[in-house]
Amino acid sequence: MAQRLFDNLTSDYLAAAARLAPHGSRRKVVVYVESYDDIFFWRSLLDEVEAPGLRFEVMLPSQSTLGKGKKVALMNALSHGLGKNLIACVDADYDYLLQGTTEISRLLCNHPWVFHTYVYAIENYQCYAPSLHTVCVMATLNDRDIFDFEDFFSRYSRIIFPLFAWSVWCYRNGRSSRFSMQDFVKVVQWDSISLNHPERMLESVKKKVNAKIAWLQRSFPEARGKYQQVVEDIRKLGVNDSDTYLFMRGHDLFENLVVPLLTAVCRTLTHERENEIRRLAVHDIQKQSELAHYTHSSASVEDMLRKQTEYKRAPLYRMIVSQIKKSQQEDIAPKT
């Protein structure tokens, strides 16, 4: 019985149920997401949209399978009848930047009840540069600022932007097998980390980026004249030279770039705090006790990246909140 009720769950059904609810009850909006990992992000975002007469319930779109991913989520959501009371919230991936060149991209960009992250994925928000110092504090309990994440990722983004535009061109024009997202990250990740000389990290990336761009220009002469149009298109879609990192594949940014960098920063901060304890301890028992307490109180970089919510200040994140809020206030489908 419960399964049959779920199969018949549609926006119209939820609207009818709301009309039968007792006076003063909050209208429920069901929100379909891609996987279990997405539930907390969207739940936290929707907390800002909820109002006295409105509540959201975030869930996976299938109660009968463990299928995950955007396509599964969107196809199942569509089969249930999306509307004001039944919406889908998914990662943008490259589909936002492809602007309708694939079926999933058309659905994501044009359906009034499908909302997306704008940046590539949730991981990109977790790696939002202005929030990274806070992550280090959460992990090490040391507030000393030893690395300028905002300046670094701004300069890094300006370096990789031209190559990122090439990546989008390849995906829009069926050339991704020649230059894939995996190929892209191999070029833009750092070979080594130098906290004292971050310019060396950036210079190394710049050399690799320039070499790959030269290869792409030779390999795809048909892109001449069309590449610049892609540059203009993605800028209109919100990809700025200073925040390109937010639009690259989220898993690559998280695992290959940000976690190694933050691990190096946090290792330095942890050593500082431990040396301070050793210096200030009156006797060995106190030293061992304080060191044990500090170790117990600190946390892993990866865990803190996933738990932090400082990214809520990001302009594109605020845009998602505003769009969903507006859609629930209007009597007709929201404009896209």
The predicted-structure confidence for 228-270, as pLDDT tens digits, reads as follows 999 999 999 999 999 999 999 999 999 999 999 999 999 999 9
Q: What is the pLDDT of residue 62?
A: 64
Task: Please tell me the pTM assigned to this model.
Answer: 0.88
**pLDDT higher than 80, residue 331:** no
Mean pLDDT throughout 140-145?
94
Band (pLDDT 50/70/90 cuts) for residue 200 is very high
**Which of 14-23, 39-48, 276-285 is predicted least confidently?**
14-23
DSSP state letters, 78-105: HHT--BTTEEEEE--TTHHHHTTSSHHH
Q: Percentage of the chain surpassing pLDDT 70? A: 88
Residue type, 37: D
Mean pLDDT throughout 3-25?
51
Distance (Å) of CA 223 to CA 168, 212, 226, 230: 12, 15, 5, 10
Half-sphere exposure of 70 (CA within 13 A, CB side): 20
Band (pLDDT 50/70/90 cuts) for residue 18 is low
Helix, strand, coil distribution of the chain in percent, nearest 5: 60, 5, 30
CA–CA separation, 107 and 185 (whole Å): 27
- Backbone phi and psi for residue 169, each to the nearest 5 degrees, phi listed first: -60, -45
Quote the tokens at residue 268: 């330095």
Mean pLDDT throughout 140-155?
96
Q: What digits encode the pLDDT tens for the residues 161-195?
A: 999 999 999 999 999 999 999 999 999 999 999 99
